[in-house]
Amino acid sequence: MTGIVLKTANELQVMRLAGGILSRLLKLLEQEVKPGVTTKRLDIIAEQMIRDEGGEPAFKGYYGYPASICASVNEEVVHGIPGNRVLKDGDIAGIDVGVRLQDYYSDAARTFAVGSVDEQSRRLINLTREALGLGIDQAVEGHRLSDISWAVQSFAESNGLSVVKQYVGHGIGRSLHEEPQVPNYGKPHEGPKLMEGMALAIEPMLNIGAADVEVLEDGWTVVTKDRKRSGHFEQTIFVGKVQAEIVTE
């Protein structure tokens, strides 16, 4: 349990409010992600809504990150910087976004189909979402942290997808990234015991091709080395006695 902070009921309630902002924002962005829109436009929409709802964009300025969302298209895995890139029919776009509200954080990501995507891309999106759900199912008191990791990895690999290992989920609360790290791979029944009051951001990143990734020259954007497509889903959850509570949905 070293370094893992259990949240009080009051802290969890603030995080629920931050998660509610994210849930509504991602529903809005789902309508806005379409052919012809720039990733910068999505960033502007996101920042405006977060501030209108009384929150702050958690990512903006975080270690110098220049935007409110990460917008990762096609072979981009995570941390894509919004800009003048125009989304095209057939693209997939991963949007990762965080909210800070009253000194507490929530974090979530979705991968959206842009217009009509091919069957392989649609399958990637659906399976990555499903892998996240299976990981969340393990976030129950008495289980161990790696039960989440194993649920994601075993499902992904049994469906022919590879798991990104360099980037992981994390604890969350008064900081955007807290202990523990939550890998998307590992053996079951290892690591810290899960306890009610833990808040985690679980976030599978799954690739159609190989697991290997690299960072582009901008210092942020992570891409698959083979340039095949990658999916990313994330929810902030609270570990429960019987089942996890998803606070960003």
pLDDT (tens digit per residue) in 187-202: 999 999 999 999 999 9
Q: Tens of pLDDT along 5-15?
A: 999 999 999 99
Q: Which CATH architecture has domain 9-246?
A: Alpha-Beta Complex (3.90)
Listed residue (123, 139, 15, 38) closest to 85, CA to CA:
38
- What is each CA distance from 166 to 34, 36, 181, 185, 211, in whole angstroms? 30, 32, 11, 10, 9
Beta-carbon contacts of residue 39 (< 8 Å; ≥ 6 apart) = 71, 73, 80, 82, 83, 85, 87, 93
Local confidence band at 3 (pLDDT 50, 70, 90 cut-offs): confident
**DSSP, res 64:** G
Q: Which residues of 138-176 are buried (b: 16+ CB within 10 A; e: fewer)?
A: bbbeebbbbbbbbbbbebbeeeebbbbeebbbbbbbeeb
Contact 230, 164 (CB under 8 A): yes
Q: Is the pLDDT of residue 1 over 70?
A: no
Contact 25, 4 (CB under 8 A): no
Tell me: the pLDDT tens digits for 33-78?
999 999 999 999 999 999 999 999 999 999 999 999 999 999 999 9
- Mean pLDDT for 13-33 is 98
| Orientation of helix 39-52 relative to helix 9-32, angle to 10° | 140
**How does pLDDT run across 148-200, given as a tens digit for each residue?**
999 999 999 999 999 999 999 999 999 999 999 999 999 999 999 999 999 99
Strand pairing report for 235-238 and 76-78? unpaired
pTM value is 0.96
Mean pLDDT across the chain = 97
Examine the pLDDT at 97 and tell me if it is beyond 70: yes
Longest dimension (CA), the chain: 48
pLDDT at 149 (0 to 100): 98
In this structure, what token pair is assigned to residue 108? 């979530």
Provide mean pLDDT across the span 224-231. 98
The answer to whether the beta carbons of residues 69 and 26 sit under 8 Å apart is no
Q: Which of 107, 111, 7 is nearest to 58 (CA)?
A: 107
Q: What is the mean pLDDT of residues 91-114?
A: 98
Residues 6+ apart with CB under 8 A from 174: 5, 11, 103, 104, 105
Share of the chain above pLDDT 90, in %: 99
| pLDDT band at residue 110 using 50, 70 and 90 as cut-offs | very high
